[in-house]
Amino acid sequence: MGQRQYWVIDADISKYFDSIDHKHLRSFLDLRITDGVIRRMIDKWLKAGVLEGGSLQNSVTGPRREA
């Protein structure tokens, strides 16, 4: 008889979160999250920006990190 096969899939998706477009992310979250409080909290996190070298960097994508 046939033997069972097991698969292991390894994927590095960390760079995806460095470059995801916030507009695309929000539209996806609109489909998945219906709680308005949670959505507003996520929107605030996305709008918060990143403090780099003493200056505030606002962006429409995730933070860029040098490899």
CA distance 61 to 50: 11
Band (67; pLDDT cuts 50, 70, 90): very low
**CA-based torsion, 30, 52, 14, 67: positive or negative:** positive
CA distance 25 to 42: 10
pLDDT digits (tens, 9 = 90+) for 25-48: 889 999 999 999 999 999 888 888
What residue spans define the domains of the chain?
14-57
Band (56; pLDDT cuts 50, 70, 90): confident
Q: Is the pLDDT of residue 64 over 60?
A: no
